[in-house]
Amino acid sequence: MKPEHFVDSVQTRFSFGRITIRPFCAEDAVGLHSAALESTNELSDWMVWFRPDYSIEHSRAFLNKSAADWKRGERYTFAIVDSVEGTFLGSVGLFLVSKEHRFANIGYWVRTGKSGHGIGSAATLLAAIFGFNVLGLNRIEFVVPPGNRASLRVAEKVGAKREGSLRRRIMLGGKAQDAVLYSLIVEDLASESVRPPS
């Protein structure tokens, strides 16, 4: 039986090869929970939503919030899946969406056992395509802690341009920390160096 997706009114499913992003569905709770626990060390360092006692109930609450955020147009969060095996690989999303100025921030994570294979870059490109083509955004921003080298590499691989450092821009572990700002505009995607993984 095909899972019922929360949002079907616009194109919300995008693929590069085996990498697909799509809105979360209720059946993703187990996969999300499993991937989060597998990635405890990495998520604990960089993701404010993750907690050591992360449970299946937390996953279900996130899925419900994701559905509500989509309906309000406040946040667009996607599951990253292997379209051949159906494996849950992580998540990518657009948030802090400004309808007036047509920009959004982007965030992403890939389960630890699947990292280092271009999945984050592919999913980020797909989410950017959704942002530019479906939401009509002019700009997508990456706000990344300087120590999060994996996320910095993703921003660079998709063609985002570094614009500078932001002092005390994010809260991690209850402390204000600096961040690096990258931006992506649609013209950046035309670069010959920006290609999905084969």
What is the CATH number for 70? Answer: 3.40.630.30
Q: Which range of residues forms the domain containing residue 133? A: 14-139
Is 0.75 surpassed by the pTM of this model? yes
- The pLDDT, as a whole number, for residue 48 is 86
- The pLDDT, as a whole number, for residue 3 is 33
Higher pLDDT, 128 or 2: 128
Give the tens place of pLDDT for each residue, 131-162. Answer: 999 999 999 999 999 999 999 999 999 999 99
Q: Is residue 128 part of a domain?
A: yes
Q: Is residue 40 part of a domain?
A: yes
Give the tens place of pLDDT for each residue, 77-123. Answer: 999 999 999 999 999 999 999 999 999 999 999 999 999 999 999 99
How many domains are contained in the chain?
1
Please work out, in degrees rounded to the nearest 5, the angle formed at the alpha carbon of residue 187 by the alpha carbons of 193 and 158: 40
Asked if residue 4 has pLDDT above 70, the reply is no
Q: Is residue 183 part of a domain?
A: no
| Stretch 12-25: mean pLDDT | 92
Output the 3-class SS for the chain. Answer: CCCCECCCCCCCCEEECCEEEEECEHHHHHHHHHHHHHCHHHHHHHCCCCCCCCCHHHHHHHHHHHHHHHHHCCCEEEEEEECCCCCEEEEEEEEEEECCCCEEEEEEEECHHHCCCCHHHHHHHHHHHHHHHHCCCCEEEEEECCCCHHHHHHHHHCCCEEEEEEEEEEEECCEEEEEEEEEECHHHHHCCCCCCCC
CB 122 within 8 A of CB 157: no
Q: Is residue 20 part of a domain?
A: yes
Q: Is residue 31 part of a domain?
A: yes
Q: Is residue 130 part of a domain?
A: yes
Q: Is residue 178 part of a domain?
A: no
Give the tens place of pLDDT for each residue, 46-76. Answer: 888 888 899 999 999 999 999 999 999 999 9
Asked if residue 40 has pLDDT above 80, the reply is yes
Q: Is residue 163 part of a domain?
A: no
Asked if residue 33 has pLDDT above 80, the reply is yes
For the chain, the straight-line distance linking the first and the last C-alpha, in angstroms and rounded, comes to: 30
What's the sign of the alpha-carbon dihedral 141, 32, 116, 17? negative
CB 180 within 8 A of CB 165: yes
- The pLDDT, as a whole number, for residue 127 is 96
Quickly state the pLDDT bin for 12 (edges 50, 70, 90). confident
Task: Locate 160 and state its tokens.
Answer: 């985002």
